[in-house]
């Protein structure tokens, strides 16, 4: 379980493997300091298990299921990633409940400056948009955000200066793929209403 509050911006040191599965090596000194083998860490919104900790680096395995549902397979050496260790009992819940289970990959439509912040517009599949409501929560690349506007095929979020500074969202370009996770509470409500 995560909150969508990014704790560190890591850098991909190496990616080995192919479509059958990859090993991801992330340079993440702050996260690695408190991590152990078997811990869960969110990388761009994907919950992965630490398989090795060494000299400020964390290593993870991503299997075909993860690669088919996320943009992790597109990461290369030098790519910047958003990191969040799993929530521990007693930690503050600053964002919203995030599972680290990517629902779909969207595409950046635009990122435009808006005052001191920015507005990010993302094209998303209908299966994601059905769970979106204005002022509701959504996770983009592991970042907990509030939906500012809905369109038939997209949604927009407002990014504050802090989010632009500590996450990778300010570096996005039109067409970039982004991992999306809808608020799990919306899925449970739907299941209760339509079993």
CATH code at position 21: 2.40.30.20
Is 78 part of any domain?
A: yes
Verify that 109 and 180 share a domain, yes or no.
Answer: yes
Is 125 part of any domain?
A: yes
Q: Find how far residue 29's CA is from the centre of its chain.
A: 19
Q: Phi, psi at residue 164, to the nearest 5°?
A: -65, -35
Number of domains forming the structure of the chain: 2
Give the model's pLDDT for residue 133: 94
Verify that 73 and 116 share a domain, yes or no.
Answer: no
Containing domain of residue 156, as a range?
Answer: 104-193
Could you tell me the pLDDT band of residue 194, with boundaries at 50, 70 and 90?
A: confident
Is 121 part of any domain?
A: yes
Is the predicted pLDDT of residue 97 greater than 90, yes or no?
A: no
Verify that 171 and 108 share a domain, yes or no.
Answer: yes
């Amino acid at each position: 379980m995560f909150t969508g509050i990014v704790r560190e911006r890591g850098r991909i040191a190496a990616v080995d493997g192919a479509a059958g599965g990859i090993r991801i090596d992330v340079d993440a000194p702050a996260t690695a300091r408190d991590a152990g083998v078997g811990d869960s860490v969110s990388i761009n919104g994907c919950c992965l298990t630490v398989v090795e900790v060494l000299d400020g680096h964390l290593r993870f395995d991503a299997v075909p299921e993860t690669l088919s549902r996320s943009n992790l397979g597109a990461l290369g050496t030098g790519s910047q990633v958003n990191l969040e260790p799993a929530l521990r009992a007693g930690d503050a819940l600053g964002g919203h409940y995030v599972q680290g289970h990517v629902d779909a990959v969207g595409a950046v439509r635009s990122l435009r400056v808006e005052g001191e912040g920015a507005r990010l517009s993302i094209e998303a599949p209908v299966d994601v948009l059905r769970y979106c409501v204005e002022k509701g929560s959504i996770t983009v690349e592991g970042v907990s955000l509030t939906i500012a506007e809905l369109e038939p095929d997209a949604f927009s979020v407002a990014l504050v200066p802090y989010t632009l500074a500590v996450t990778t969202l300010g570096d996005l370009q039109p067409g970039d793929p982004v991992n999306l996770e809808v608020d799990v509470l919306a899925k449970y409500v739907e299941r209760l209403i339509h079993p």
